Amino acid sequence: MAAPEKEVAKSELPDPKEVAKTYAEVAQRASKLLADHIQKQVKKGISAPADELGIAQAFMDMMGKLLANPYRLAQAQMNLVWDYFSLWQHSVMRFSGMGAGAPVAAPAKDDKRFKDEEWQEHFLFDFMKQSYLIAARHIHDTVSTVDGLDEQSQKKVNFYTRQYIDALSPSNFAMTNPEVFRETVKSHGQNLIKGLNNLLRDVEEGGGTLRVKMTDTTAFELGKNVATTPGKVVFQTDMMQLLQYTPSTPDVSKRPLLIVPPWINKFYILDLREKNSYIKWCVDQGHTVFVISWVNPDERLAEKSFDSYLQEGTLAAVDAIVEQTGAKEINAAGYCLGGTLLATTLAYMAGKKDKRIASGTFFTTMTDFAEPGELGVFIDEGQVSSLEKKMFERGYLEGSEMAGTFSMLRANDLVWSFVVNNYLMGKDPFPFDLLYWNSDSTRMPAKMHSFYLRNMYMKNLLKEAGGIEIGGVPIDLSKIKVPTYFISTIEDHIAPWKSTYSGARNFGGNVRFVLGGSGHIAGIVNPPAANKYGYWTNSAAKLPATADEFFAGAEQHPGSWWTDWQAWLIDQDAEKVPARDPVKGKLKVLEDGPGSYVKARPAA
């Protein structure tokens, strides 16, 4: 009976010829990649690495302060030793079958790294997990409580310590991740061979820079299975195309709705799929919807400024909508950076006595940058000067660089999970429309981005009356008297809700502030049919003085903020008119939606 079993085992082994062929292919590609990299470095001239981000200096300052207080350092070390002693005792008792009780260290409930059951069930993997969590906690606690360190250095130390800790998680290594270990044994290491191929592919496609592939980009096509809401491009400038969507109701609100997306991303985050498309939902609610589709700029647009985005973007869009529909007033909504631009536009129009925008809606929008959250780690004089040097050499900021920054804010979800899946498990990334959009990055003109970083993030001049000028008009947010609606999200890492709340209080008109659940994307793209997250409102006649006071007096509601916003907007604009077909407007249709600007992708 032994012979058939041996034959079965033998048949499960990989074909030696195939293994040799795979190894040869990997070796050949790796050799070529290394040779190409060396050639590039030789041409550039090899220079010592520079500390452009100021990371090394921040950690040197931290170590100096830490070593100046040896008692606290010794206390931290003793606490670490005590926790490791407790873990050893826990593990010995568990191994001997005596029952160990509660673990010494446990991951957060939303920590997906340790979801495999063997992290809990297997003695060795549980020991490695707890050992890592203990070390991670003590390292972070020690460096985050150093006395005498300046605020910016402390932020850098905290942030980059977290990056270091996340990188060293046992889940990120083949021999210490139970799921990878099982797959390696099962496939006789083929997962690692395929993973190395995936790694080399990503480096090759990144032109020598590793760009971790998050999704199967070949599975999506704009206008086919994403950005599918029917519409037409009815106007364009060097800066943008303006889309008008085909109505789905016999009559519509009298005021058209203009949506201003951020130019750091493409607009179709609001039109991913039919069931979660904010754009389609607005059309179905009886709005004449217009959306700006920003250009993906190259070096030819290097001199385009923040003024250009306002004059040739939002203002040009308002002019076009009024001409196309004959409406004298419109509603406008801006998302993130698009909301910052919309706020600037409203203040500019107030200065010009232009009342064509009758209400403003702001999705996760900052106009007060005093507390920018973790993005502030990347914004100081040294880092901005270094970034400006790179931008002005080529005329723009490459979108992938900014995307990398955002990924670092949630490294475990947006970096390391894909490292494990693609390079250790040897799997291809799953087709996911949100991650396809996330990888479809957009450049930014050098002059505009420099102005934005320095005047808004660093100097925080937008909140100051007359702090900045656009087209000779001093910008004063307090002159915005139209009704405004702010929706922010409680878990937002990019535009922290308490910062957006501070900015909302600078507006001069009636402001409704709503706090949604979840984060920067999921909390906004939250259709009523999903019945998720909920939102908070405060019924006080005026916005409370602080965000904490707002939340203390807030009432939580189930479902989506979309319905609350729709009710608010109808209160401003209840009158109906016959539906407006983009083909029958006064402007000439240039092409079908989603247009050509949104389809432009930078070469790898």
Which are the catalytic amino acids? 336
Kindly state the DSSP code that residue 285 receives in the 8-state scheme.
T
User: What does the DSSP 8-state code read for residue 303?
Assistant: T
Q: What's the sign of the alpha-carbon dihedral 394, 399, 405, 408?
A: negative
If you write DSSP's letter for every residue of 104-165 in order, what string do you get? SS---TT-GGG-STHHHHSHHHHHHHHHHHHHHHHHHHHHTT-TT--HHHHHHHHHHHHHHH
- What single letter denotes the amino acid at residue 344? T
Task: Produce one character per residue of 292-324: b if its CB has 16 or more CB atoms within 10 Å, e if not.
Answer: bbbbbbeeebbebbbbbbbbbbbbbbbebbbeb
Q: How far is CA 536 from CA 224, 452, 533, in A?
A: 36, 31, 10
Helix ranges (H only) for 413-546 are 417-419, 433-439, 446-452, 497-504
Helix or strand run (H / E) with residue 515: strand 511-516
d(CA 124, CA 128): 6
Q: Helices (H) and strands (E) in the chain — how many of each? A: 22, 17
One-letter amino acid for residue 323 of the chain: E
The continuous run of DSSP H or E covering 334 comes out as strand 330-335
How far is the CA of 16 from the CAs of 191, 194, 277, 554, in angstroms? 16, 15, 50, 66
Residue 513 φ/ψ, nearest 5 degrees: -110, 130
DSSP label at 412? Answer: I
Among 489, 406, 491, 470, which residue's Cα sits nearest to residue 442?
406
